[in-house]
Amino acid sequence: MAAFAFGLTSPAAQSAELGRLFFTPQERAQLERQGALKSAQPAARIDTLTVNGMIQKSGGKRIYWINGEQQDAVASPGQAPASVRVTVPGKPQPVEVKVGQRIELNPAQMTPAE
């Protein structure tokens, strides 16, 4: 019955009820322009890499937080439980970084956990 009553209201009344879930064509165009501007900006240069934390799920899957962003990883044999192998520019082999450690990428040097 409520669906039937909703169908009898005018489109203007329906859009007022929906509130801010939907945007006008002008608002959508503005949002698209803002998105295009953000994607056109160059990516920020990262000078440090910090391993903020790690969780290991049953089955061996690990989730790391690197520079505050979640990253999935698979545990590899011989790897310390609370570390992650990270590829660093200018290094031929991945570097093993423990939770709490920070790597200065220019030049690549490791800072101990605080």
CB distance 82 to 75 below 8 Å: no
Confidence tier at 34 by pLDDT (50, 70, 90): confident
pLDDT value of position 33: 82
The DSSP bridge partners found for residue 16 are none
CB distance 63 to 82 below 8 Å: no
pLDDT value of position 83: 80
Confidence tier at 24 by pLDDT (50, 70, 90): confident
Confidence tier at 113 by pLDDT (50, 70, 90): low
pLDDT value of position 14: 57
pLDDT value of position 62: 80
d(CA 72, CA 27): 36
pLDDT value of position 78: 66
5 phi and psi angles, rounded to 5 deg? -65, -35
d(CA 60, CA 36): 39
